Amino acid sequence: MIASHPFQFFLWSVYPYLMLGSFVFGTIIRFAFFHPTVTAKSSELLEKKTLMIGSIMFHVGIIGVFFGHIMGVLIPKSWTAALGITDEFYHHVIAVPAGAFFGILATVGVYILCFRRFHDHRVFHASSTGDLLVIVALTAEITLGMLSSFVSGPLNPSFNYRDTLAVWARQIFMFHPDFRLMLQTPLLYKCHVIFGFMIFGAFPYTRLVHALALPWQYVYRRFIVYRRRPQI
């Protein structure tokens, strides 16, 4: 079976580990040896209004999408069934409405940020090549995700990602992914997964790594007191 699908075997049994390995070891090296670079250069002083709108929508949306992926991919269908949640109820009442809400938020937000990054000449000229590639990659990945869920899904009614793609994803963490589960997966889903792993692989070497740098010092630091300068 493997001999007849060598590329598919590499794509679904080797490539994920290469990208996850890059994510783990790259992040460790970045924080251990290049910690001062773990930051995201702000362009707020150059343009604030569009940044605030796009950033809030994107971050709220992407957090919801992230936890939606955790629930839909990493939680087996048998677990939700044991709670009395049928697959139809899960799909039509939980997954689709929540996915649409947070997905639209993330999509509109990232499109606003992408437009701002390229359209505002001051922001564009202050951006590095990495900044531009990151926003384009995020825009493409979120677009692929929305197209997978709301275009490819309805066009392939017999496909159930919880019986194929989700099972394969969980098997990755058990170190025996069955690449055959991905052979009949619609193309848009495949592109979404491939591109997503690519972003994970590049994560430690881009501005995205700042998402892991939680500002714990704000929890225990002393309050900063600001005083008005006395009028002379």
CATH classification at residue 101: 1.20.950.20
Evaluate whether residue 225 is within a structural domain: no
Evaluate whether residue 1 is within a structural domain: no
Number of domains within the chain: 1
215 or 134: which carries more pLDDT confidence? 134
Specify the pLDDT at position 167. Answer: 95
User: Computed from CA positions of residues 22, 23, 27, 28, in that sequence, does the dihedral angle turn out positive or negative?
Assistant: negative
Exposed e or buried b per residue across 155-176, where buried means at least 16 C-beta atoms within 10 angstroms of its C-beta: ebeeeebbebbbbbbebeeeee
Specify the pLDDT at position 50. Answer: 92
Evaluate whether residue 229 is within a structural domain: no
Evaluate whether residue 142 is within a structural domain: yes
The pTM of this model reads 0.84
Specify the pLDDT at position 219. Answer: 52
pLDDT of residue 109 exceeding 80: yes
Evaluate whether residue 206 is within a structural domain: yes
Confidence of residue 4 (pLDDT cuts 50, 70, 90): low
Specify the pLDDT at position 208. Answer: 86
Evaluate whether residue 192 is within a structural domain: yes
- What are the tens digits of pLDDT across the range 45-70? 788 889 999 999 999 999 999 999 99
Evaluate whether residue 200 is within a structural domain: yes
Report the percent of the chain where pLDDT is more than 90: 58
Evaluate whether residue 230 is within a structural domain: no
Long-range contacts of 85-88 (CB under 8 A, 24+ apart): 87/160, 87/162
Contacts of 193 (CB under 8 A, 6+ apart): 165, 182
Specify the pLDDT at position 226. Answer: 58
Mean pLDDT, the chain, integer? 87
DSSP three-state, residue 127: coil
Domain that holds residue 121: 6-220
- What are the tens digits of pLDDT across the range 114-173? 999 999 999 998 888 988 999 999 999 999 999 999 999 889 988 989 899 999 999 999
